[in-house]
Amino acid sequence: MSLQSDPQQATRRELLLSIVVPVFNERTMLPVFLENLLPILQSLALKSEVVFVDDGSQDGSAEYLKQMISKMPVSGL
């Protein structure tokens, strides 16, 4: 494995955009958030990942996210 010392040599396909989303009782906003975020990520020429961090939501946020993730094509969890 070689490391490139020149950042200009890296291509956009080699980059990974990571988005970390804190979630706490956001069930009502998650559909709106995903509806806006997903088309943007799909339009980018970058690999991307979205990490949702639920800190004990009591409104069904985690369950909603699990349901939505099961319907999406993912390359890894």
Interval 31-46: pLDDT, tens: 999 999 999 998 988 8
Does the pTM of the predicted model rise above 0.85? no
Mean pLDDT over residues 55-60, rounded?
A: 96
Q: Degrees (nearest 5) of the Cα angle 11, 72, 65?
A: 110
**Strand 16-23 versus strand 47-54 pairing type:** parallel
What gap in Å lies between CA 29 and CA 27, rounded to an integer?
6
Q: pLDDT confidence of 18, banded at 50, 70, 90? A: very high
User: What band does 53 get if pLDDT is binned at 50, 70 and 90?
Assistant: very high
Determine the pLDDT at residue 34. 93
| CA angle, residues 60, 47, 75, in degrees to nearest 5 | 60
pLDDT of the residue at 10: 56
